[in-house]
Structure 1
Amino acid sequence: MNKRTNFIIMLFLLTAMLIITPAFADGESDPNYGILTLVPAILIIALAFTTRNVVLSLFIGILTGSVIMNKGNIFHAFLRVCDTYILGEATDSWNAALIIFIFGIGGLVSLMMKMGGMQAIAESLSKKANSAKGTLFITWLLCLIIFFEDIASNLIVGPTMRPLAEKTKVSTEKLSFVLDSTAAPVSDIAFISTWIAYEISMIKMSFEALSLEVNAYDLFVKSVPYRFYNLLAIAFVLILIFMRRDYGPMYEAERRARKTGKTVADGGHPMMSEDNESVSPKEGSKLSPYNAIIPILVLLTAVVAGLWYNGGGLNEPFTINGIRNAFGNADSSVVILWSVMFTTVLTAVMAVGQKIATINEAIDIWLSGAKGMFLTNTILILAWSSGAIMGDLGTAKYIIGFVGGSIPAMLLPLILFGFACFLAFATGTSFGTTGIMMPIAIPLVMSYTNMEVNHLVIAVIGAVTSGAVFGDHCSPISDTTIMSSMGAGADHIEHVRTQLPYAFTVAAVAALAGCTVAGFNGHPIISYVIGIAALIAIVRFIGKPVDEVEVYNSGKIKEDVV
């Protein structure tokens, strides 16, 4: 066994030793587990760092918590994990709706890709690019358009723009950076995406541990302006594109591509995705942008109309306040489920009507896309279960009593953002990081606000989720990072190496200009003014100009040194 395996076993045995002598009195109706309430959370975080396997880490943490509650009886604890926590959380009506929604959105995206609508949009826009700047800008724009799934964005936009990037001498490192730094941050803040169901469920669960009912969807929307890393990362890509400057290893990669025409480094091993059938339209089918535009518009319209209807909009005056009240009273889990299923049926009808697929083929395509969401739902159910076990142990109350007041309130967004960044980078998953951090962060910040939801609570939610995105989109073991390398045809290690200085730059600016200002109750606009100005200054004074290669309609090129 290697050192990591030995460490894991020792850590688990140490935890078991603590459990053997539970710190509570027999027969108490409301036992006090004391410091043992922290064991599952600590164990999950430690294992996530060492194994980089979030599923294993969450399951062992849940089992450990159950052992504590069952007074050291591992057999009974295992049974309760299965029938009380995992089954109980998966069959809760609210949770079940979100699980089905995630499967549904995965299937819908698969259908849309097979119909070729998104590819049609991408190819149409790519024809308007005739320079490196144009190529990168169109790539950035397409990632914004395909906002509902980051992996789909990478695997559609990347192969579409790769030939043009080759012509305009854009390095595969720069192309993969633009893909990676736009796709994940956009998907995390989109009001309809494969991420939203997971995040609102984590928010809801964390407040339920405090016996508080909140509108999780509303808090998600309010937290978007406080997701400083996401929005600054998107802006930073645009700054680099239009200033045509780079620094660090990215500058060397771009200079190599412009001067020598080598878009891939010598000795590099490009990752390719041409053979990925899940994103390829049916051979011979006519690509129409309406095959993407119509489903997207229908989905968005269905969500808005569904929120209004479900929240009692028929009984409210049709005014801004009436609409706001209806949205606030709506059950978002039911609405997004209605919307994705309705849009799926419509999209399948479109595919069959255009003879792109038969009914049976449409169902198979949908099932294939839904299957790709299995890991997401597995992490989701385990995260719910870990939150439930921590709630039963009283972890939130213990943290409030132990930590409450010891950290200055204004530093909470900054500290939690930093910890989320490190955890996400180590584990390579934003979902796992959010599932681990949110049940701890929300009770902690609520202890500072006397259990009232204010700007500090919303800022902390934004800090945790955006910190999780940092790791998801630049960790070498993240699926999003890997898919970006595949989409751009880049060497994976070179992609990570050239991207990290940029990611750390944005994270530092987001921490100082964003989280710190938010902690002092500063308005998000102040943070973005300072943050964007800082990023522009960094690119201007640290970055170096790179050569430009323009492509004419004839296919010839000319060099224009900036």
Structure 2
Amino acid sequence: MAFLPIMLLADAKDNSITYGFLTMLPPLVAIILAFLTRNVIFSLFMGIFTGTFMVNITGSNVFVAFFNAFVDMSEKMVGSLADSWNAGIVLQVLTIGGMIAVITKMGGPRAIAQKLAKRAKTPASAQIYTWIMGFFIFFDDYANSLIVGPIMRPVTDKLKVSREKLAFIIDSTAAPIAGLALISTWVGYELSLIKDAYAILGQPEVNAFAVFVETLPYRFYNILMLAFVFFSAYTLREFGPMHKAALRAHETGHVSNPKSKGVMNQENSFMLPKDGIEYSIYNAIIPIAVLIIVAIVGFYLNGLSSLEGEVLKAVEAAPYSFYAIRECFGSADASVVIFEAALLASLVAIGMGLQQKIFDIHDAIETWVFGAKALVITAVILILAWSLSAVMKEVGTAHYLVTVLSHSTPQFILPSIIFILGSIISFSTGTSYGTMGILMPLTIPLASAVGINTGLEGTDLHSYIVLNIGAVLTGAIFGDHCSPISDTSILSSMAASCDHMDHISTQMYYAVFVGAVAVLFGYLPAAFGVPVYILLPLGLLVIFLVIRFYGKPYFKA
């Protein structure tokens, strides 16, 4: 296997030879069950069990193998959570969830939205301010939906913006922004997947944060979708089912489809501010600013403490240079830093609420715990995804895959295949997280092997791997936008008080279009070596021209 770029674990290599195609069973079981059951937790669970059963069925006693497989599976789950990096990510996610609940209870995000709402005088400005709010709530996709929708809905209703368009804006500024943000509930998980997959290549010390940052220009779907929302709002032009909804709202005043009966409403006493309190923008700005500032400083200091040798000397010589910041941020333990920053921000938020007598200490802790509990399902998916990755390492899935496909897969097509496959899995499961957990351990070794087999090396090989990582992370979001069982899409429908299938049917038309542009003007030419600084402006131009000349106006001033 001279084409392999690294040394894989001996056991994994031996298992890939022993089991052959059967090494694909764990991820295939997870993917197929995701299609059939549309339940990512059950699918990941069964994928893990399939792998542990394979490595334990060495004798003729199936019952013993079944028992040993269950024990092995349990150990892998415990081992995943016992890892300090993984534990930090779980704590980070739960802590940010608690902080979100507290600042929402204090009315801070609502105060900011109300100030923006006062400036919205036209349908275009109402949509653009909703879009801007999505950027402000960058740290979590759930928080985006829970906060932005209920606040902006009265404004968009008054200006006759359809509920379908409101739900689309909310959904399109949730996961795409959280996936791009350097500080969010997503980043720790994405970093862990990247780090874990590089470990399969024999590179456990990879600078995962630096790789993550390098993928940002290649998040074609995220970037183009955000631009699509702005262009359509600014020009007041729509096409497809969304145009019909816009005409209905503008001409009849029916912001919701009168034929639909399944309007979803979002009401939750824990996430709504108390009656009678005075909303202050500082109740959101200060805790979030603490989170961001402490995280940035923490990245630098934590990374600096881990540097050594010539790199440390170079950083000490110019501590505030771009090189120093890049090296420190890249070497930082993001899982620990963001957890610490979120914990401090939570304490600041609780302290502010107590000082203003918005709640007592009992209510504050209860609200924080509720916010953390809301993201427990995310922690479960994380643990299962890590465990599935560990199983695939053990049975040698990645080794088998690169052996079979590295010579037969054209270099130029792999990123597009990864993007489409990610969208299919995400569509069937309704979750981006599970999709990333299934695909990332396969994508990085495969991209590395395909790249080396086609003559790439050094910087070119690294850039090719980064491109494919971007395809995984954005394909998962694209499929999520099209899926009727997506949690963020359901939340967006609830937040906009929109019929869920009305939201999906109007959004899918736009998502498929932007996804096609991402492939044709993004991943395909990028795999041929076209620079991203050419592709992004080209993609943005295509999006604008289609909206301008294919989209139809529906509003007359």
TM-score in terms of structure 2 length = 0.91
Which residue of 2 is the match for residue 535 of structure 1? Answer: 543
Amino acid at match of 1:202: L
Q: Distance in 2 between matches of 1:429 and 1:530?
A: 30
Are residues 30 and 520 of structure 1, via their aligned partners in 2, closer, same or farther at CA, if it must alter by over 3 Å?
closer
SS of the equivalent of 1:410 reads: coil
Determine what percentage of the aligned residue pairs are the same residue. 43
Whether 2:67 is the aligned partner of 1:62: answer no
Matched, 1:46 2:19: no
In 1, Cα distance between equivalents of 2:332 and 2:241? 49
Q: For residue 282 of structure 1, what is the amino acid of its counterpart?
A: K
Matches within 5 A, 1:336-351: 336-351=338-353
Q: Does 1:425 align with 2:433?
A: no
User: What is the SS of the residue equivalent to 1:472?
Assistant: helix
Report what 1:158 is aligned to. 149
The change in CA–CA distance for 1:362 and 1:463 in structure 2 (over 3 A counts) is same
2:354 is the alignment partner of 1:362:
no
1:270: Cα distance to partner?
5.2
Asked whether 1:108 is paired with 2:108, we answer: no
What secondary structure sits across from 2:413 in the alignment?
Answer: helix
Counterpart residue type for residue 148 of structure 1:
F
CA offset digits 1:148-187 (Å, max 9, x no partner) = 1112211221111111222111111111111111122111
- Give 1:325 deviation, angstroms: 2.2
Mapped contact 1:219–1:458 kept (Cα < 8 A)? yes
Aligned counterparts of 1:215 and 1:233: Cα–Cα separation in 2 = 28
Deviations 1:239-292 (A, max 9, x none): 101111111111111111111111111221253435222321122211110111
- The residue matched to 1:134 in structure 2 has which SS? helix
Q: Identify the match of residue 165 of structure 2 among 171, 174, 180.
A: 174
How many pairs are equivalent?
522
* Amino acid across the alignment from 2:325: I
User: 1:65-109: CA deviations, max 9, x gaps?
Assistant: 111100251111111111x20111111111111111111111111
Pick aligned residue for 2:522 from 499, 502, 514: 514
Q: Distance in 1 between matches of 2:555 and 2:184?
A: 37
1:293 pairs with 2:320: no
Deviation sequence 1:30-49 (CA, Å, 0-9, x none): 97322221111111111111
Whether 1:383 aligns to 2:369 is no
The answer on whether the counterparts of 1:224 and 1:462 sit within 8 Å (CA) in structure 2 is yes
- Unaligned runs of 5+ residues in structure 2 are 1-10
* Aligned residue among 61, 72, 75 for 1:80: 72
Q: Which digits, 9 at most, give the CA deviation of each residue in 1:401-453, with x for residues without a partner?
A: 11112111122111111111111112111011111111111110011344866
**Partner in structure 2 of residue 445 of structure 1:** 447
Change (3 A) 1:127 1:248: same
- The equivalent position to 2:407 in structure 1, one of 381, 402, 405, is 405
**Does structure 2 retain, via aligned residues, the 8 Å contact 1:209–1:388?**
no
- Verify the 8 A CA contact 2:266 2:497 in the aligned structure 1: no
**Change over 3 Å in CA distance of 1:32–1:298 after alignment to 2:** same
User: Residue 66 of structure 1 contacts residue 389 of structure 1 at CA under 8 Å; is this kept in 2?
Assistant: yes
For 2:4, the equivalent position in structure 1 comes to: none
Which one-letter code corresponds to 1:98 in the other structure? I
1:503 aligns with 2:511: yes
Whether the 8 Å CA contact 1:152–1:279 is kept in 2: the answer is no
Letter in 1 for 2:116: L
Q: Which residue of 2 aligns with 1:237?
A: 229
| Matched residue, 1:202 | 193
Does the CA-based 8 Å contact 2:481-2:508 persist in structure 1? no
Matches within 5 A, 1:534-553: 534-548=542-556
Residues 349, 310 of structure 1: alpha-carbon distance in 2 compared, 3 angstrom cutoff: same
Read off the aligned partner of 2:507 and give its amino acid letter: Q
**What SS does structure 2 have at the residue aligned with 1:200?**
helix
Q: Which residue of 1 aligns with 2:296?
A: 304
Q: C-alpha offsets along residues 328-360 of structure 1, whole Å, 9 cap, x if unaligned?
A: 222222211221112111221111111112222
Distance 1:309 1:274, change over 3 A: same
Mark the CA change 1:145 to 1:270 in structure 2 (over 3 Å): closer, same or farther. Answer: farther
Instruction: Give the equivalent residue in structure 2 for 1:18.
Output: none
Report how far residue 201 of structure 1 moved. 1.1
1:271 counterpart SS class:
coil
State the alpha-carbon separation in 1 of the partners of residues 101 and 131 from structure 2: 22
Contact 2:208 2:330 in 1 (8 A): no
Aligned-partner Cα distance in 1 for 2:196–2:355: 42
Q: Could you say what the CA RMSD is over the residues aligned between the two structures, in angstroms?
A: 1.8
Give the Cα–Cα distance (whole angstroms) in 2 for the partners of residues 67 and 379 of structure 1: 21
8 Å Cα contact 1:485/1:495 also seen in 2: yes
- Give me the whole-angstrom Cα distance separating, in 2, the residues matched to 1:104 and 1:329: 23
Distance 1:507 1:325 in 2: 34
| 2:207 aligned to which of 211, 215, 222 | 215
Deviates more, 1:335-344 or 1:229-238: 335-344
Structure 1: runs of 5 or more not aligned: 1-24, 549-559
Read off the aligned partner of 2:189 and give its amino acid letter: Y
Q: Residue 542 of structure 1 aligns to which amino acid in structure 2?
A: Y
Contact 2:16 2:400 in 1 (8 A): no
Q: What's the CA shift for 1:322?
A: 2.3
CA distance in 1, matches of 2:471, 2:282: 37
Q: For 1:280, what is the secondary structure of its paired residue?
A: coil
- Counterpart CA distance in 2 for 1:169 and 1:390 is 51
Question: 2:70 and 2:434 mapped to 1: Cα distance?
Answer: 22
- Alignment equivalent of 2:482, drawn from 446, 469, 474: 474
1:36 to 22, 27, 34: 22
DSSP 3-state at the match of 2:203: coil
Partner Cα separation in structure 2 for residue 29 and residue 531 of structure 1: 44
Structure 2 SS opposite 1:454: helix
Contact 1:173 1:250 in 2 (8 A): yes
